[in-house]
Amino acid sequence: MSVKYKRILLKLSGESLMGDKPYGISQERLEHYAKEIKTIMELDIELAIVIGGGNIYRGLDAEKSGIERSQGDYMGMLATCINGLALQSTLESHGMYTRLVSAIEMREIAEPYIRRRAVRHIEKGRIVIFSAGTGSPYFTTDSAAALRANEILADVILKGTRVDGIYTADPEKNPSATLFEAISFNDVISKNLNVMDMTAFTMCKENDLPIVVFNINTPGNLKNAVLGIKTGTTVS
């Protein structure tokens, strides 16, 4: 079975880990992700993952609590490490080999980010989970995903969300919103569509790195995206 993308950066939001909970980590959701990821690893692809931390802490919301923005962003980075540990444990329980890599050094739980070492792990078939964002405040995990994808020379960013792709408006608020099957980078900008933050989006545009936005919660969607079967919205 031939795949469309060989080296993949999968972006998962922290909020997606909550499942039906108001916050925290749903074991059911972790199990779902592990099963979906195993189906694509069986296709002999190379995979890296960037995961957010919004299910535990959002740096942007910290200012409302009186916490200084940089401090709040670092707290959010630590939340991504917690999610990374949870995902790592679940993937390994399903027989997959992983490496948790952190942009902030914490030797006891994760490897420091060294680009050449991370690429070597990926070449050996290990799933590399990038945590702690970029290691700097004022950058989102979308920016971390775009940066790491370009650094490892990924063929695509697969952005798993809870909706079926990119719509003309927010489908959760506007039932009449229509889905784009494919759209250009320039059209996303001109239509002011919310795909990623502008820093991340611009990085992908400048490096001709396609983005596929799809519903990660639908079984089989991840595998279809890797195979090139029409799934979600492709930005190129």
Distance CA 143, CA 148 (A): 9
Of residues 94 and 177, the one with the higher pLDDT is 94
Share of the chain above pLDDT 90, in %: 78
What pLDDT does 26 receive?
92
CATH architecture, domain 7-235: 3-Layer(aba) Sandwich (3.40)
Does 203 have pLDDT greater than 80?
Answer: yes
Report pLDDT digits (tens) over 94-134.
Answer: 999 999 999 999 999 999 999 999 999 999 999 999 999 99
pTM higher than the cut 0.85: yes
pLDDT of residue 22: 82
What value does the mean pLDDT take over residues 154-166?
A: 95
Confidence class for position 1, pLDDT limits 50, 70, 90: confident
Predicted confidence at residue 63, as pLDDT, reads: 60
Q: Name the burial class of residue 25, with classes exposed (0-12), middle (13-18) and buried (19+) by CB atoms within 10 angstroms of its CB.
A: buried
Q: Are 111 and 99 in contact (CB under 8 A)?
A: yes
21-25, 35-39, 76-80, 117-121: least confidently modelled range: 21-25
Going from N- to C-terminal start, the domains of the chain cover 7-235
Q: What is the dihedral of CA 197, 129, 154, 224, to 10 degrees?
A: -90
For the stretch 196-202, contacts whose Cβ atoms lie closer than 8 Å and that sit 24 or more positions apart, written own/partner, are 196/140, 196/142, 196/145, 196/146, 196/159, 197/140, 197/142, 197/143, 199/139, 199/140, 199/142, 199/143, 199/146, 200/140, 200/142, 200/143, 200/145, 200/146, 200/147, 201/142, 201/146
